[in-house]
Amino acid sequence: MKHVSLGGLKVARIGLGAMGMSAAYTGAGSDDAESVRTIHRAIDLGVTMIDTAEIYGPYTNEELVGRALKGRRNKTVVATKFGFMSHTGRPQLDSTPANIRIAVEGSLRRLGTDYIDLYYQHRVDPETPIEETVGALADLIMEGKIRHIGLSEAGPTTIRRAHAVHPITAVQSEYSLWTRDPEAGVLAVVRELGIGFVPYSPLGHGFLTGQVRSLDDLADDDWRKTSPRFMGDNFQHNLRIADEVQAVASEVDATPAQVAIAWLLAQGDDIVPIPGTKRVARVEENVAADQLTLSAPQLARLDNLTPPAGDHHNEAQMQMLDRS
């Protein structure tokens, strides 16, 4: 697989998101053995970056990733996140230095490693200045506990302020054929500053694969049932998008998932999508997108898909996205 640089961190240009192995989606946590096999297969195929977070589970996803990486740690770039959980008694978002200290020790223990390659602030904490948070993370780099700093769902001004304290290696935000928000400013800023970009949910929470045709396909506790894009008339409207992606996929003898990932890869050499899956067959399918090249007319068609109906998160989650 081709490799790229995320702000100086060399990784394969397709990563693996581990969240759905333990949380949020239908069947999460139902087959840890298959999830471990999926991580192993991803590494065998050349995937280097494995993405997790303490909130996934909570905790169980980091533990799963830690078990899977035994004997394979030197082949991987481990990315995890803090700040969505408070260990100090504060309300949910907590990026204070005291909370970071507790969080990083827990993640190191669960992952079974003595350092984290890429440590993200999961969401911007409006009560803690970003300079204070990044300063605490810079201390962890000096101590060897982490090697690179990342931000998740941070806006342009926050990114600039953070980067002025210590170089930021990567910014992670939702970005896909049907969620184009980073194009409004974040992508320009990270490129100006030499920061890599990591799109999560590059398959639109599975919608762009064309495999979800009815809400009956989802369990009652599936996170997607709280997403406006999966509700009522919005869901029916958005099926057109999946069909349009399928049309391009049929032209290039690929799957819709591969087309969605290939479109992201075509957006630049500083972009590393992290499609999530808990199945070996799906990770094989996703990684094969590395070999798919879309034509200029096909990219143009994908650039102009039917606009989605509904926000990509519910109202409370949208309020946690930093747009400053």
Give yes or no: 200 in active site. Answer: no
Q: Read off the amino acid at residue 81.
A: K
Q: How far is CA 6 from the centre of its chain?
A: 14
Give the Cα separation of 8 and 11 in Å (integer): 9
Closest CA to 271 of 257, 256, 261, 283: 261
Instruction: Give yes or no for a contact between 35 and 68, defined as CB atoms under 8 angstroms apart.
Output: yes
**In the numeric block, which tokens belong to residue 51?**
């993405």
Query: Which is catalytic among the residues 25, 56, 119, 200?
Result: 56
For the chain, the residue count is 324
Residues 6+ apart with CB under 8 A from 127: 90, 93
Give the Cα separation of 191 and 193 in Å (integer): 5
The tally of CA atoms less than 13 A away on the side-chain side of residue 304 is: 5
φ, ψ for residue 126, nearest 5 deg: -70, -15
φ, ψ for residue 51, nearest 5 deg: -110, 130
- Give the end-to-end CA distance of the chain in Å, rounded to a whole number: 35
Give the Cα separation of 58 and 96 in Å (integer): 19
Residues 6+ apart with CB under 8 A from 247: none
* Angle, in degrees to the nearest 10, between helices 60-68 and 32-44: 50
Q: Read off the amino acid at residue 20.
A: G
> How many angstroms separate the Cα of 248 from the Cα of each of 206, 238, 252?
17, 16, 7
> How many angstroms separate the Cα of 144 from the Cα of each of 104, 107, 131, 277, 290?
12, 14, 20, 31, 33
- Which residues participate in catalysis according to the annotation? 56
